[in-house]
A = this chain, B = another copy of it.
Amino acid sequence: MLTLSEVLAAAQRIAPHIHRTPVLTSQGLDALLGKALFFKAEHLQKTGSFKARGALNTALQLPTPKGLITVSSGNHAQGVAYAARVLRVPALVVMPADASATKKAATRAYGAEVYDQGVTVENREEVVQRLAQETGYTFIHPFDDLRVMAGQGTLALELLEQAPTLEAVLVAVGGGGLISGVATAVKALRPEVEVIGVEPETANDAQQSLQAGRRVSLPKAPKTIADAVRTLAVGRHTFPVMQRYVDRILTVPDEVTLQAQRLVLERLKQVVEPTAGLALGPVLMGYPLPRRIGVVLCGGNWMP
């Protein structure tokens, strides 16, 4: 089980290498939506998402890493590439051969080597295991690792300081790395603040899992515009933390996610990815929510 002290230690460990991202507000948006919203701007984080936090917190605890390896076609790839650059070791990222050329290029731009020969969504876990053995590089999981979870939780420490009157926090849920870190920090420091997960309607495995009391997997990769949360199931390590600390999970259809992303572009003038819109979705849906809400803008890796 993750504890506050691990999140606090993570914050100290990664501080020299990450941004304390700002919290953005918009009177216009608050008036429009009838809430007081505090947007934690992780799209302005190093690498353009919060993933740099968890990757770094893990990498900085490895005794003598030869290199870092992971499997990701998104923000975690860039987080690991950045962590490797901080450690001055090589990074190897396994991506399906049919992942977009843009994502491969972006990951290479952060200094990682991309391995995609014969890689499919189905065999990529095996490929990464084999390559890890061959190279001796250390595998960094995208979410199911206490060190990764602690790293992601550091953004909640900042948010609670920056917006001390919060009544709830909205967090997009994929594998649960982000929300488990955030919930651990929030419930230790401000237990009255609600921690609310948000999933696409088509990918509500975390909601189902919490209801069932056991991890439920989606039968196949979900279709959703929120590409950062297409995970099939929450993790073995993230799930117990979510069971203990997450108050509820709400779901949002893709149309609302896109509408929310658009509001952030239009009103906050911030370029964020659809999954950042997902977190704002429940406010647009009219779910009963308290007035003062933190919304994690998880990343900005999106281009018009």
A266 contacts B303, C-beta separation under 8 Å:
yes
Query: Hey, which chain B residues are within 8 Å of A262, CB to CB?
Result: 303
Q: How distant is the Cα of A45 from the Cα of B22 in the complex, in angstroms? A: 16
> With an 8 A cutoff between CB atoms, is A288 at the interface?
no
> With an 8 A cutoff between CB atoms, is A220 at the interface?
no
Query: Hey, which chain B residues are within 8 Å of A271, CB to CB?
Result: 265-266, 269-271
Contact A304 to B44, CB < 8 A, known contacts A270-B270, A271-B271 = no
Binary contact track A253-286/B, C-beta < 8 Å → 1, others 0: 0000000001001100111100000000000000
Query: Hey, which chain B residues are within 8 Å of A43, CB to CB?
Result: 269
Query: Hey, which chain B residues are within 8 Å of A270, CB to CB?
Result: 269-271
Q: Copy number in this complex?
A: 2
A269 contacts B48, C-beta separation under 8 Å:
yes
Q: How many chain-A residues does the 8 Å CB contact rule pick out?
A: 14
**How many whole Å from A183's CB to the nearest CB in chain B?**
26
> With an 8 A cutoff between CB atoms, is A142 at the interface?
no
> A270's closest neighbor in chain B, by CB?
B269
Q: How distant is the Cα of A303 from the Cα of B44 in the complex, in angstroms? A: 20
> With an 8 A cutoff between CB atoms, is A300 at the interface?
yes
Binding site for B on A (CB under 8 A): 22, 43-44, 48, 262, 265-266, 269-272, 300, 303-304
Q: A265-B303, A269-B272, A304-B304 are in contact. List 8 more A-B contacts (CB 8 A).
A: A22-B22, A44-B269, A48-B269, A262-B303, A265-B271, A266-B303, A269-B271, A270-B271
Q: List 18 A-B contacts (CB under 8 A).
A: A22-B22, A43-B269, A44-B269, A48-B269, A262-B303, A265-B271, A265-B303, A265-B304, A266-B271, A266-B303, A269-B270, A269-B271, A269-B272, A269-B300, A270-B270, A270-B271, A271-B271, A304-B304
